[in-house]
Structures are given as structure tokens and as C-alpha cells.
Amino acid sequence: MMDWTDRHCRALHRILSRHARLYTEMITAAAIEHGDRSYLLGFDPAEAPVALQLGGSEPASLARAARIGADFGYDEINLNCGCPSDRVQSGRFGACLMREPQRVAECVAAMRAAVGIPVTVKCRLGVDDSAEYAFLREFVTTVASAGCEVFIVHARKAWLQGLSPKENREIPPLRYALVHQLKREFPHLTVVLNGGLHSLDEVQPHLAELDGVMLGRAAYENPWLLAEVDERLFGAAPPVASREAVLAALRTYAAAQIARGVPLPAMTRHWLGLYRNQSGGRAFRRQLSEGARRRGVGVEILQAPMPSCPTPVSACG
């Protein structure tokens, strides 16, 4: 979810659910050590609980980045061992790290020694032509020996040769049964399922056996599905009753960010899906994607769309 789940995306998601755990986009340890930390790591306390997802393969560097993240107030440090992009492979992190479980264990051990918050791992079922469950089992066994207790498993292999990142989200078949098998064999570990889930109706059956489910693109593209999470999965009252209430909260948030110098389009680009599958949804997306770039436009653009006319325009009053 690089370039997607930044703080402005998470602001919307937290308005929709008070209980879901939010994750940052993957940020490399080197960027945190040498870059603009306030820009990379800054977040509103209202986003909590929120986990910082790191990319890297050097234990000492990851430990320093984890310590910085903990000092910023993150609730969890997550090591990404699942991203299949060429850019990530060239840096020797992401999914290619699954081929080096001992190195991952060393990274986890170094981060755990540096911070007092949980250190978790996100991974795939395997890489390229690896034997699916045997490979996953060995990886989890090795990394768990370093103290990792939480594994978020994207239930597909990563094909690092021949498939693009987009194809890696669609072509390798989903094997949910292998994630359930992992939980049965390692009942003391927290096992979270990721991959290919688009609705809470699809999520709920997995929660009978697994410890959690992670939604990525489904929540980004159709964020309103998070409005049901608190009630259906946590037994709590939903935090907002309507999309219009969400827009009111976003106007307040956007006004405060604009006062700090944040450009409006940097925020609204993450909010385009709020009216997905709703009457006026297309007009709302155009309203935000085009209108937010016009000179002088402010938070007034965050208005509910007019319902789409069901008959030809010439017949509408």
C-alpha cells in the first residue's frame, strides 16, 4: 500500500472505525534514518491504534528505525516480508526476504531489543516455486523463535520473476486453507489473514478460527465498508451514522491541515471512494479529483453529491 495509506487516508479510516488497527504504508528504515521524520512518521494521535510498517533487511538499521517509530508513538512495528515490487527486491527487502528466514529472525530480534511495543511480520505463503505450506511453516518457525508472535499472511505466493506487483495481487491463487492450517499448527501465535477479501460477509467466517483479518485495497477503494466494522466485529456502536457525517468530520480535519500548509489534493485523493456504488458517486469523485486542484478552493468542496438523475437530463426539473 505504498503511497496509499498515508496519514490522510488513515484519518478517514479512523473516522469510520474506532477499533480497527490501522497500518502505515511501508517506509524503508533508511528513509526514516536519513529523511524528514516528521513528514514520514508524523500522525494524529486520533489515528491510534496505528502500526508502523517498515521495509529493510539490516537488523541494526531496522532497530534504529523501530526505536524512532516507537518514540513517535506508534503502537506496533511491522516488518514487511510480502511486497513483491522490483524496487523492493533491488533493496533486498519485501517478499524476497522470505528466502532468508534466519535474517528475518535476526531483524525481529534486533527490533524487539530496541522497543517495548510488539514487533510483527507480514508475509506471503511463499516465493516463486517454493513448496507452499512447508516453506511457510519453516519461515514462521524460524521467525517465531526470535520472539515474533504475530504473522499477517497474504494468502498468495509472491512470484518475483515474471509478474508485476499488480499481477501478484491477482494471478497467484488464493490459498486460505493454508493460513488456517498455520493457525491450527501454531495455536499460540496470532495469525491474521490478508488477501482477496472485499466485504465483511467474506471476513466473518475466517474469524471463527483466525485471530484477525487485514483489509487493504478493499478498504481503500470502498472505505464505507469500515463503517460496519465496530458493530459487526467488535460489538460496539458505529462511530458515524452517514457519509454526510463523515464529510463533516473531514471538513474539520482538512481545515486544520490546510492551516499547516498541507495542499487540499494531497488529502482528497484518498477520499474519492467514500460514495462508491452510491448515486452521485462518480460526480463526487470528479468533484474531488478535479475541483480540489482549482485555485482558491477550500473545504467547502467536501459536500455530499447530488443524487444522480434516473431519467434523461432534458426531462428533469
Rounded CA-CA distance 81/76 in Å is: 16
The answer to whether 65 and 94 have CB atoms below 8 angstroms apart is no
Q: Where are the beta strands (DSSP E) in the chain?
A: 22-23, 27-28, 50-55, 76-81, 119-124, 150-154, 190-194, 212-214
Per the residue annotation, which of 9, 81, 83, 107 is the catalytic one?
Answer: 83
Residue with cell 474531488: 288
Please list, in sequence order, all residues whose beta carbon lies within 8 angstroms of the beta carbon of residue 49, skipping any fewer than 6 positions away.
Answer: 21, 22, 75, 76
User: 16: closest CA among 229, 203, 183, 166?
Assistant: 229
Concerning whether 107 is annotated as a catalytic residue, the answer is no
**Other beta carbons less than 10 A from residue 175's beta carbon:** 19
Catalytic residue list = 83
